[in-house]
Protein backbone atom coordinates (compact mmCIF):
# COMPACT_ATOMS: atom_id res chain seq x y z
CA UNK A 1 0.00 0.00 0.00
CA UNK A 2 1.29 3.48 -0.92
CA UNK A 3 2.09 6.08 1.67
CA UNK A 4 -1.03 7.92 2.79
CA UNK A 5 0.84 11.20 2.30
CA UNK A 6 0.86 10.70 -1.47
CA UNK A 7 -2.31 11.69 -3.33
CA UNK A 8 -3.86 8.86 -5.32
CA UNK A 9 -5.32 9.71 -8.74
CA UNK A 10 -7.71 7.46 -10.64
CA UNK A 11 -7.75 8.51 -14.31
CA UNK A 12 -9.95 7.01 -17.01
CA UNK A 13 -9.08 7.02 -20.70
CA UNK A 14 -5.28 7.26 -20.45
CA UNK A 15 -4.26 5.80 -23.80
CA UNK A 16 -4.29 9.17 -25.60
CA UNK A 17 -4.87 12.89 -25.17
CA UNK A 18 -5.62 14.55 -21.85
CA UNK A 19 -5.64 11.31 -19.88
CA UNK A 20 -2.23 10.26 -21.11
CA UNK A 21 -0.58 13.63 -20.47
CA UNK A 22 -2.21 13.97 -17.06
CA UNK A 23 -1.05 10.50 -16.00
CA UNK A 24 2.51 11.39 -17.07
CA UNK A 25 2.51 14.58 -15.00
CA UNK A 26 0.93 12.98 -11.93
CA UNK A 27 3.53 10.22 -11.86
CA UNK A 28 6.37 12.65 -12.64
CA UNK A 29 5.43 14.51 -9.46
CA UNK A 30 5.93 11.37 -7.42
CA UNK A 31 2.24 10.86 -6.80
CA UNK A 32 0.24 7.63 -7.18
CA UNK A 33 -1.99 6.87 -10.14
CA UNK A 34 -4.42 4.24 -11.32
CA UNK A 35 -3.98 4.48 -15.09
CA UNK A 36 -6.78 2.93 -17.11
CA UNK A 37 -7.68 2.14 -20.70
CA UNK A 38 -9.85 -0.38 -22.53
CA UNK A 39 -6.59 -2.25 -23.18
CA UNK A 40 -4.06 -1.71 -20.42
CA UNK A 41 -1.15 -2.64 -22.70
CA UNK A 42 -1.67 0.75 -24.32
CA UNK A 43 -0.75 2.49 -21.06
CA UNK A 44 2.06 0.17 -20.00
CA UNK A 45 4.67 2.79 -20.93
CA UNK A 46 3.13 5.26 -18.49
CA UNK A 47 3.75 3.07 -15.46
CA UNK A 48 7.24 1.86 -16.44
CA UNK A 49 9.68 3.01 -13.78
CA UNK A 50 6.92 3.94 -11.37
CA UNK A 51 5.55 0.49 -10.58
CA UNK A 52 5.62 1.22 -6.84
CA UNK A 53 3.20 4.13 -7.33
CA UNK A 54 1.24 3.17 -10.43
CA UNK A 55 -1.34 0.59 -11.37
CA UNK A 56 -2.41 -0.04 -14.97
CA UNK A 57 -5.89 -1.52 -15.38
CA UNK A 58 -8.22 -2.60 -18.14
CA UNK A 59 -11.33 -0.46 -17.88
CA UNK A 60 -14.28 -0.09 -20.19
CA UNK A 61 -16.46 2.31 -18.23
CA UNK A 62 -19.58 0.93 -19.92
CA UNK A 63 -18.88 -2.49 -18.38
CA UNK A 64 -20.25 -2.63 -14.82
CA UNK A 65 -18.11 -5.65 -13.92
CA UNK A 66 -14.91 -3.90 -15.00
CA UNK A 67 -15.90 -0.72 -13.16
CA UNK A 68 -16.38 -2.61 -9.89
CA UNK A 69 -13.17 -4.62 -10.37
CA UNK A 70 -11.08 -1.53 -11.15
CA UNK A 71 -12.22 0.37 -8.07
CA UNK A 72 -11.70 -2.71 -5.90
CA UNK A 73 -8.16 -3.17 -7.27
CA UNK A 74 -7.38 0.50 -6.63
CA UNK A 75 -8.61 0.27 -3.05
CA UNK A 76 -6.67 -2.93 -2.40
CA UNK A 77 -3.47 -1.45 -3.79
CA UNK A 78 -3.59 2.09 -2.39
CA UNK A 79 -6.30 2.10 0.26
CA UNK A 80 -7.81 5.34 -1.00
CA UNK A 81 -8.68 7.45 -4.04
CA UNK A 82 -8.15 11.17 -3.66
CA UNK A 83 -8.87 12.34 -7.20
CA UNK A 84 -11.15 10.78 -9.80
CA UNK A 85 -10.64 12.14 -13.29
CA UNK A 86 -13.46 11.15 -15.62
CA UNK A 87 -11.75 11.56 -18.96
CA UNK A 88 -12.90 8.51 -20.96
CA UNK A 89 -15.38 9.25 -23.71
CA UNK A 90 -15.56 10.25 -27.35
CA UNK A 91 -17.19 12.58 -29.84
CA UNK A 92 -20.01 12.02 -32.29
CA UNK A 93 -20.95 14.38 -35.10
CA UNK A 94 -24.21 14.30 -37.03
CA UNK A 95 -27.06 16.61 -37.73
CA UNK A 96 -29.84 16.12 -35.20
CA UNK A 97 -32.10 14.79 -37.94
CA UNK A 98 -29.52 12.36 -39.29
CA UNK A 99 -28.31 11.05 -35.94
CA UNK A 100 -28.39 7.26 -35.72
CA UNK A 101 -30.09 5.67 -32.71
CA UNK A 102 -27.35 3.10 -32.06
CA UNK A 103 -24.61 5.74 -32.23
CA UNK A 104 -26.51 8.13 -29.96
CA UNK A 105 -27.08 5.47 -27.32
CA UNK A 106 -23.47 4.26 -27.47
CA UNK A 107 -22.29 7.85 -27.01
CA UNK A 108 -24.45 8.28 -23.91
CA UNK A 109 -23.36 4.92 -22.52
CA UNK A 110 -19.73 6.09 -22.58
CA UNK A 111 -19.94 9.84 -21.98
CA UNK A 112 -22.77 9.84 -19.47
CA UNK A 113 -23.78 6.49 -17.95
CA UNK A 114 -20.23 5.14 -17.77
CA UNK A 115 -19.06 8.32 -16.08
CA UNK A 116 -21.96 8.10 -13.63
CA UNK A 117 -21.13 4.48 -12.85
CA UNK A 118 -17.43 4.94 -12.09
CA UNK A 119 -18.22 7.97 -9.93
CA UNK A 120 -20.84 6.06 -7.93
CA UNK A 121 -18.27 3.31 -7.39
CA UNK A 122 -15.61 5.74 -6.11
CA UNK A 123 -17.82 7.95 -3.92
CA UNK A 124 -18.06 5.48 -0.98
CA UNK A 125 -14.26 5.65 -0.60
CA UNK A 126 -14.26 9.45 -0.71
CA UNK A 127 -17.13 9.61 1.77
CA UNK A 128 -15.25 7.37 4.19
CA UNK A 129 -12.17 9.57 3.81
CA UNK A 130 -14.28 12.75 4.12
CA UNK A 131 -12.12 14.09 1.32
CA UNK A 132 -11.82 13.87 -2.45
CA UNK A 133 -12.03 15.64 -5.77
CA UNK A 134 -14.06 14.58 -8.80
CA UNK A 135 -12.82 16.14 -12.02
CA UNK A 136 -15.05 15.65 -15.05
CA UNK A 137 -13.66 16.36 -18.50
CA UNK A 138 -16.65 17.72 -20.38
CA UNK A 139 -16.28 20.22 -23.22
CA UNK A 140 -17.08 23.73 -24.32
CA UNK A 141 -19.95 21.87 -26.01
CA UNK A 142 -21.29 21.17 -22.51
CA UNK A 143 -21.99 24.88 -22.15
CA UNK A 144 -22.62 25.92 -25.75
CA UNK A 145 -24.10 23.92 -28.63
CA UNK A 146 -22.62 23.83 -32.13
CA UNK A 147 -24.00 22.53 -35.44
CA UNK A 148 -23.24 18.88 -35.98
CA UNK A 149 -22.58 18.26 -32.29
CA UNK A 150 -26.08 18.15 -30.89
CA UNK A 151 -25.82 14.67 -29.41
CA UNK A 152 -22.25 15.16 -28.18
CA UNK A 153 -23.29 18.46 -26.59
CA UNK A 154 -26.29 16.77 -25.01
CA UNK A 155 -24.02 14.19 -23.38
CA UNK A 156 -21.76 16.91 -22.00
CA UNK A 157 -24.68 19.09 -20.88
CA UNK A 158 -25.95 16.07 -18.95
CA UNK A 159 -22.63 15.73 -17.11
CA UNK A 160 -22.59 19.47 -16.33
CA UNK A 161 -26.06 19.42 -14.77
CA UNK A 162 -25.30 16.22 -12.86
CA UNK A 163 -22.06 17.77 -11.58
CA UNK A 164 -23.98 20.77 -10.23
CA UNK A 165 -26.07 18.43 -8.08
CA UNK A 166 -23.07 16.31 -7.08
CA UNK A 167 -21.14 19.37 -5.94
CA UNK A 168 -23.96 20.45 -3.62
CA UNK A 169 -24.49 16.96 -2.21
CA UNK A 170 -20.81 16.39 -1.55
CA UNK A 171 -19.77 19.79 -0.24
CA UNK A 172 -20.45 18.86 3.42
CA UNK A 173 -18.23 15.79 2.91
CA UNK A 174 -15.29 17.86 1.63
CA UNK A 175 -15.58 16.21 -1.79
CA UNK A 176 -14.98 18.81 -4.48
CA UNK A 177 -16.31 18.76 -8.04
CA UNK A 178 -14.82 20.51 -11.05
CA UNK A 179 -15.77 20.32 -14.71
CA UNK A 180 -12.97 20.95 -17.21
CA UNK A 181 -14.37 22.35 -20.47
CA UNK A 182 -11.78 22.22 -23.25
CA UNK A 183 -12.15 23.96 -26.57
CA UNK A 184 -10.12 22.67 -29.55
CA UNK A 185 -6.96 20.88 -28.39
CA UNK A 186 -4.29 18.96 -30.29
CA UNK A 187 -5.23 15.53 -28.89
CA UNK A 188 -5.98 13.67 -32.15
CA UNK A 189 -9.61 13.78 -31.01
CA UNK A 190 -10.82 13.91 -34.60
CA UNK A 191 -8.62 11.01 -35.65
CA UNK A 192 -9.10 8.61 -32.72
CA UNK A 193 -12.05 9.72 -30.63
CA UNK A 194 -14.63 11.00 -33.09
CA UNK A 195 -17.40 9.14 -34.88
CA UNK A 196 -19.52 10.72 -37.59
CA UNK A 197 -22.72 10.13 -39.48
CA UNK A 198 -22.09 11.92 -42.79
CA UNK A 199 -24.27 14.87 -43.68
CA UNK A 200 -26.34 13.92 -46.72
CA UNK A 201 -29.28 16.30 -46.37
CA UNK A 202 -28.44 19.34 -48.47
CA UNK A 203 -30.40 21.70 -46.21
CA UNK A 204 -27.73 21.16 -43.52
CA UNK A 205 -24.71 21.48 -45.82
CA UNK A 206 -23.88 25.06 -44.78
CA UNK A 207 -24.16 24.32 -41.06
CA UNK A 208 -23.46 20.69 -40.18
CA UNK A 209 -21.60 19.79 -43.36
CA UNK A 210 -19.36 22.83 -43.15
CA UNK A 211 -18.47 22.18 -39.53
CA UNK A 212 -17.61 18.55 -40.20
CA UNK A 213 -15.20 19.63 -42.93
CA UNK A 214 -13.65 22.23 -40.63
CA UNK A 215 -13.16 19.62 -37.90
CA UNK A 216 -11.22 17.38 -40.26
CA UNK A 217 -9.17 20.21 -41.76
CA UNK A 218 -8.16 21.61 -38.37
CA UNK A 219 -7.15 18.31 -36.80
CA UNK A 220 -3.54 18.60 -35.65
CA UNK A 221 -3.61 22.40 -35.96
CA UNK A 222 -5.62 23.28 -32.86
CA UNK A 223 -4.20 25.96 -30.58
CA UNK A 224 -4.71 23.97 -27.37
CA UNK A 225 -1.72 22.16 -25.86
CA UNK A 226 -2.78 18.97 -23.98
CA UNK A 227 0.28 19.13 -21.70
CA UNK A 228 -0.64 22.64 -20.57
CA UNK A 229 -4.21 21.43 -20.09
CA UNK A 230 -2.96 18.64 -17.80
CA UNK A 231 -0.90 21.18 -15.84
CA UNK A 232 -4.05 23.27 -15.39
CA UNK A 233 -5.90 20.25 -13.99
CA UNK A 234 -3.16 19.70 -11.43
CA UNK A 235 -3.35 23.37 -10.47
CA UNK A 236 -7.09 22.97 -9.90
CA UNK A 237 -6.45 19.99 -7.61
CA UNK A 238 -3.88 21.94 -5.59
CA UNK A 239 -6.26 24.84 -4.90
CA UNK A 240 -8.03 24.96 -1.56
CA UNK A 241 -11.09 26.41 -3.30
CA UNK A 242 -11.02 24.99 -6.82
CA UNK A 243 -13.38 26.32 -9.48
CA UNK A 244 -16.58 24.51 -10.32
CA UNK A 245 -15.81 25.24 -14.00
CA UNK A 246 -12.54 25.66 -15.86
CA UNK A 247 -12.79 26.45 -19.58
CA UNK A 248 -9.58 25.69 -21.45
CA UNK A 249 -8.17 27.58 -24.43
CA UNK A 250 -8.73 31.12 -25.70
CA UNK A 251 -11.27 29.99 -28.29
CA UNK A 252 -13.21 28.07 -25.65
CA UNK A 253 -13.22 30.90 -23.13
CA UNK A 254 -14.49 33.35 -25.77
CA UNK A 255 -17.18 30.94 -27.01
CA UNK A 256 -18.51 30.23 -23.52
CA UNK A 257 -18.47 33.88 -22.41
CA UNK A 258 -20.32 34.91 -25.57
CA UNK A 259 -22.92 32.18 -25.11
CA UNK A 260 -23.55 32.90 -21.43
CA UNK A 261 -23.78 36.67 -21.94
CA UNK A 262 -26.31 36.15 -24.74
CA UNK A 263 -28.28 33.70 -22.59
CA UNK A 264 -28.37 36.03 -19.58
CA UNK A 265 -29.46 38.92 -21.79
CA UNK A 266 -32.34 36.88 -23.16
CA UNK A 267 -33.42 35.74 -19.67
CA UNK A 268 -33.39 39.33 -18.44
CA UNK A 269 -35.26 40.61 -21.52
CA UNK A 270 -38.03 38.05 -21.00
CA UNK A 271 -38.00 38.01 -17.20
CA UNK A 272 -41.27 39.94 -16.85
CA UNK A 273 -43.09 37.37 -18.97
CA UNK A 274 -41.53 34.53 -17.01
CA UNK A 275 -42.26 36.03 -13.59
CA UNK A 276 -45.89 36.72 -14.59
CA UNK A 277 -46.57 32.98 -14.77
CA UNK A 278 -46.61 32.72 -10.94
CA UNK A 279 -49.94 32.78 -9.13
CA UNK A 280 -50.83 36.39 -8.25
CA UNK A 281 -49.66 37.45 -4.80
CA UNK A 282 -52.42 37.80 -2.23
Q: What is the torsion angle, in degrees rounded to the nearest 10, for the CA atoms of residue 257, residue 258, residue 260 and residue 262? A: 160
Task: Provide, for the chain, the percentages of residues in helix, strand and coil under a 3-state DSSP scheme, each rounded to the nearest 5.
Answer: 55, 15, 30
Give me the sign of the Cα torsion angle 267, 272, 278, 282.
positive
| Closest of 121, 145, 164, 129 to residue 34, by C-alpha | 121
The answer to whether residues 134 and 119 touch, using CB atoms and an 8 Å cutoff, is yes
Residues contacting 28, CB < 8 A, separation 6+: none
Q: Which of 90, 92, 151, 152 is catalytic?
A: 152
90 exposure class (CB count in 10 Å sphere: 0-12, 13-18, 19+): middle
β-bridge mates for residue 142, sequence order: none
92 carries an active-site annotation:
no
The answer to whether residues 139 and 182 touch, using CB atoms and an 8 Å cutoff, is yes
Strand-pair category, 54-58 with 175-182: unpaired
Query: Active-site residue numbers?
Result: 152
Amino acid sequence: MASSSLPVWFITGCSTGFGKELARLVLARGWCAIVTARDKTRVADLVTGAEDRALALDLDITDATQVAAAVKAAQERFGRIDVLVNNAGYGYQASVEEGEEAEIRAQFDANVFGLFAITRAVLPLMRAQRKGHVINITSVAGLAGFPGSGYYAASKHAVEGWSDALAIECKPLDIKVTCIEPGPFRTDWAGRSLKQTPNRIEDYADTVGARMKTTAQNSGKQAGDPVRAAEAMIKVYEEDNPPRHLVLGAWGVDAVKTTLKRRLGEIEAWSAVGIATDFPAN
